[in-house]
Structure 1
Amino acid sequence: MYLLDQQRAGLDALIVGVVDPLIFSVHDAPIGSALVQTVIRSWIVTVVKRECASHVHEVVDSEVALSKRVVTSDNDPITCVAFVLVEHIDLAVYEPECAQSKAAAAAAASSDELVAAKSTTRECISNLEGCLVKEEKMPPPRTSTSAVLSCTPKRLFLVVLCLFAVILLTEVLMLPNLIGVAALPVPTTADNSAPDEGAQVAVAAPPASLRPVTGAPPNISVIMPCYGHVHFLEEALNSVIKQQYPPAEILVVDDGSPEECGKFASDMLDGSLASARRRSIRQLQTWWGWGDGDMVRFRDEVLVTPNRGVAHARNSGIRRARGDWIMCLDADDTVSPNYFMEAMAHVAQQPATNLVYADQQFFGESRWQWHVPDVQRVDMALVNGPLPLMTLFRRALWQATPHGFDEALPKGHEDWAFWLQLTRLALKPHKLEGFLTQYRFKKNSKMRNRELNNPEVPRLLRTLFADLYPVRKLLLDHHELLKPNGFSESVRMDVSVSQHLCPQRSAPHLWRGMILQAKKDHAAAARAYNDSKARAAPYDWQPAFRLWRLYSWQLADPAAAERERQHLLQLWGAAQFAWYSTDVWGEVLDFESAVPEGGAG
């Protein structure tokens, strides 16, 4: 990481405060005259500004990469020196523990290796100076380069030796302290203990808007399921890493993808995105004053799970997460850089907030803008559907729901089911201004095709919430599901899987009973309905209603029908039962003239 992210106004101060003490003088005496120092310092400024203008962002962390950088940097010795110094200034700034221990520097200065390096450096700088003093006044940087290059081959060779001497000098000073330093994740609580003796920890206060009124600063865990979106994965990860308020951890969940997207995610986090990720981690570390002892709880991870769908992948990631705030992001979507910052600024001032969301901009094959409705009222959530998936919510909310992202629901809408579960809880939501989340719209996506080919899925979703949706609405859903084509073949298979994976849930048995009743296998349907009733919540009237209808007409079992009727009377009362018992087909009919349920439900 370069000084590119530092403010331009602080550049000269960093050069004076870091370069001069660290490179141009070795604790006891300056190396070279002011002319040489000024020329090299000028070149450092020039190189940094040039790199800033071209948006170069990379970190040279190894001798191999560093040597490659030196060889390829315009074949200009002073420019090479400047690049080397820039890299090591970066280490001194962002790795303060690596170069700021005076005791360690003093001990290193007395070593034979450093004495030899210092001697060689002095000789090379002296030769470099000899190439420059011929001018009556200090030339501009480019003229200085020409002067160096116009020297004899012997002197040019000595200049190259000078470059490697500088490398050796700085490595002796700093690399011993780099051992053990890693891009560790962010901790959840601040370390108030005294720093190690001799260490200097740079503490920069976070923006005033982020300082919490009460409690510790919030940590965000990002959960990113991945299946079939490898070519979009880096874009999604980059949008998270570039957040102005960085996440404490990123958990990529490979949902058993055939393309092994987890391996690609690991390569990105360890390779092309590693520099930016380390920089974001250190930003939080600097803001809140966390020490190394705290940086053990959070860690970016890639999880690989069996292919059981996105709901299972998200739940697996959240179970593993250690942050107190969660954001789920699909691997082909993105979020704006200021999303987390604005959300956490509000949370800092309103600590009771447990849900933060914003409007959503579609991109890709659509430019539609979703103005997300207010979720203060439960009926708005029921009518208008879910919040954006990228909504930030406290992990405690997920823990308070019975199923999280519901893995029993066939063919999607698991996020809608999650938001509906949240409406049962005490929510303190807040909506941010602006389109801060971006959804990639694809006309031929799996979700689009599912909505077209499986219209029964929203009906199945509503049967999960008998306490939220009106009885009349659910009876209409029953009517459609009990038709011969009420369940597509793929959904029938998913229902069987749900029944196998979630045998203690009531809904899969209810759905199985409807499938069997539509096939006119009434005895098997009754067994499935009884299994559903045995597992149903006290408020869930659906299995009892289906049994009452089945025993009254198809199975002609008056005693069993009366038993279910009494159960429904306890739930509804006589007046309500009379109304709902005639409103099965979507219109009010006389009970005596109602057509018995067969294939039509």
Structure 2
Amino acid sequence: MKNPLVSVVIPCYNQGKYLTETVQSVLASRYRPLEVLIVNDGSTDDSLEIALHLKEKHEELTVIEQVNGGVAKARNTGIKAAKGEIILPLDGDDKISADYIGAAVGLLGDRPEVKVVYCKAVKFSEAGQKPWKLKPFSLRALARDNMIFVAALFRKADAIAVGGFSEDMHMGREDWEFWIKMLKNGGEVVQLPFVGFYYRMTPDSKRKKTGTGRKKRERIDYLNRKHADFFQQQLNGPLRFQRSWSRVYNTLLGWMGKI
């Protein structure tokens, strides 16, 4: 039985400094067949030049250009263009291990009930690296916070079915909302027991820019508007600013309302 084609979607905005290293980590994968789609999201640095140079050297690469529209739109562009039945989004400055794709694809093939496969991860920078302490997955935990980084593997059909990444989510953590809408109506999640993903920390990392209190409030308001049913089911009401207390607070309010 032939291995399914995996499409690795790499959105890139001004990440030319790291793009070659990211692509090389994918091409070093022990799994084949692969296609690598670099989506240049209107970069103003040398990202496009580097992407085109890489394409000349590696026939598995495709370069797509678009006017800057944000990372969600860039991922969606790549997913729509992908020929593979399995997708791996990978940002233009991160890396994967050589065995990550193969292990994930094997699990997706053996267990059709599984929708998302990810792995253990580390955060790294020029100062070194450290384990990324990800909380265990459950739907109730996902309602409070995201523990699945964007570089997980899933079927293209499942992504298309939920409309891809939400392009109107401009306050960060769009991967969190993507997992909510993909998983809230069913589907299992598996974390592989080894480090397969390397998240690069830089002075201008998006996680830092979207970690402010204002962005957090905007994000919570957005999630509550789009997924009120999910939060009602998992948290007995809306997601609160103090997220870990949401279920307790909502349950207490419900009891008080019955008195």
TM-score, normalized by length of structure 1? 0.38
Aligned residues: 242
Partner of 1:333: 94
Aligned-partner Cα distance in 1 for 2:15–2:98: 21
**Offset, 1:393:** 0.4
Partner of 1:461: 222
Partner of 2:82: 321
Contact 1:417 1:461 in 2 (8 A): no
Contact 1:236 1:331 in 2 (8 A): yes
Q: Deviation per CA, 1:485-532, whole angstroms, max 9, x where unpaired? A: xxxxxxxxxxxxxxxxxxxxxxxxxxxxxxxxxxxxxxxxxxxxxxxx
> Where does 1:138-537 land on structure 2 (aligned, <5 Å)?
216-271=2-57, 274=58, 300-364=61-125, 365=127, 367-375=129-137, 377-401=138-162, 403-452=163-212, 454-463=215-224, 464-470=226-232, 474=238
**Offset, 1:472:** 7.2
Greater share of residues in strand: 2
**Offset, 1:316:** 0.8
| Residue identity in the other structure for 2:12 | C
SS of structure 1 residue aligned to 2:211: helix
Q: Deviation per CA, 1:256-303, whole angstroms, max 9, x where unpaired? A: 1112522321112213xx3xxx6xxxxxxxxxxxxxxxxxxxx63111
TM-score, normalized by length of structure 2? 0.83
Contact 2:7 2:82 in 1 (8 A): yes
Contact 2:115 2:155 in 1 (8 A): yes
Greater share of residues in helix: 1
**Offset, 1:409:** 1.3
Unpaired segments ≥5 residues, structure 2: 242-249
User: Relative contact order (alpha carbons < 8 A, sep ≥ 6): 1 or 2 greater?
Assistant: 2
**RMSD, aligned CA:** 2.6
Unpaired segments ≥5 residues, structure 1: 1-211, 279-298, 478-575, 590-601
Q: Deviation per CA, 1:295-334, whole angstroms, max 9, x where unpaired? A: xxxx631111111100000001101111000000001000
Q: Deviation per CA, 1:120-178, whole angstroms, max 9, x where unpaired? A: xxxxxxxxxxxxxxxxxxxxxxxxxxxxxxxxxxxxxxxxxxxxxxxxxxxxxxxxxxx
| Residue identity in the other structure for 1:326 | I
SS of structure 2 residue aligned to 1:318: helix
Aligned-partner Cα distance in 2 for 1:476–1:440: 30
Larger radius of gyration: 1
**Offset, 1:360:** 0.9
Aligned-partner Cα distance in 2 for 1:348–1:455: 37
- Rate the CA distance shift 1:221–1:373 in 2: closer, same or farther, 3 A: same
Partner of 2:246: none
Aligned-partner Cα distance in 2 for 1:459–1:346: 33
Contact 1:240 1:246 in 2 (8 A): no
**Identity of aligned pairs, percent?**
27
Contact 2:171 2:219 in 1 (8 A): no
Aligned-partner Cα distance in 2 for 1:473–1:228: 40
